[in-house]
Amino acid sequence: MNSAKPKILVIDDEPRMVEVLTLMLEDAEYRVSAAFSGKEGLRTAYIEHPDLILLDIMMPEMDGFQVLDTLRLVTDIPIIMLTAAVQDPNRVRGMDKGATDFITKGTSTEVLLAHIRARLRPASKWKAQGIRHFGDDLVVDVTKRAVRVDDKPVTLTSLQWRLFQCLLEHEGSVSSYDDLLSAGWDNPEFRTPGAIKVQISLLREKLHDQARPSRFIHTIREEGYMFEVR
């Protein structure tokens, strides 16, 4: 990515939604392009090579999933799907097809921008660091998926590791409920914010992070959780 602000392509057949998103993104100093159909969105993506795409699901003639399928043949850039439903049954389908994230239309500006910032970070920035130390008590070996707290090994389930990895990848910013649900999308019992709260509670227990205030995992009311050493 060059020194210029990242370019975001908005693909949505609702002019008002495109207008709102464009103003919000430009206010955050992103460069913005817009397309009002799937076919137009593909043409714009091929010509302008955006750094991230916000893609509506429900569009006539060529819906968001068809656009996603076509784009994934040629690019792995972040594609955030826009959905009107909080509990959208298409979420699993979208993740299978290569969607990077899902955002509910009407999500607050702060949360949407946090998702965008997280998805624009180079994927290798976190993974390449190998063994990471957080404060004096927590050590994470990314390659081995090994965690130690107070110099003692901690055993995480596969789901807990993926949630923990999601929190670490968003370090210093909010991991929204959508982020965390996406991280555990293939677990049939992991579909609601309530399920997230249960797993985060178990993760905190294993990290010895139950005291108030928390050392590592912090609750962001009505939005999700943040990993930050305090």
Amino acid 54: pLDDT: 97
Residues 113 and 217 occupy one common structural domain:
no
Amino acid 122: pLDDT: 56
Amino acid 149: pLDDT: 93
The domain in which residue 133 lies consists of 124-227
2 located within any domain? no
What single DSSP character describes residue 73? Answer: T
Residues 101 and 165 occupy one common structural domain:
no
- What CATH number did the domain enclosing 86 receive? 3.40.50.2300
Residues 207 and 191 occupy one common structural domain:
yes
By the 8 A CB rule, do 128 and 118 touch?
Answer: no
Which of 120, 136, 162 is the last residue before a domain boundary?
120
Q: Considering the entire predicted model, what is its pTM?
A: 0.56
83 located within any domain? yes
Residues 6+ apart with CB under 8 A from 66: 38
Residues 108 and 13 occupy one common structural domain:
yes
Residues 176 and 108 occupy one common structural domain:
no
Amino acid 88: pLDDT: 58
- What CATH number did the domain enclosing 136 receive? 1.10.10.10
Residues 35 and 108 occupy one common structural domain:
yes
Amino acid 202: pLDDT: 95
Residues 6+ apart with CB under 8 A from 74: 46
By the 8 A CB rule, do 182 and 190 touch?
Answer: no
Q: How far apart are CA 7 and CA 124, in angstroms?
A: 20
What is the block-wise mean pLDDT of the chain (230 residues), using blocks of 10 residues?
Answer: 75 95 95 96 92 93 92 86 72 76 86 85 53 86 85 90 89 86 75 89 93 89 89
Residues 6+ apart with CB under 8 A from 139: 131, 132, 133, 147, 148, 149
Residues 94 and 57 occupy one common structural domain:
yes
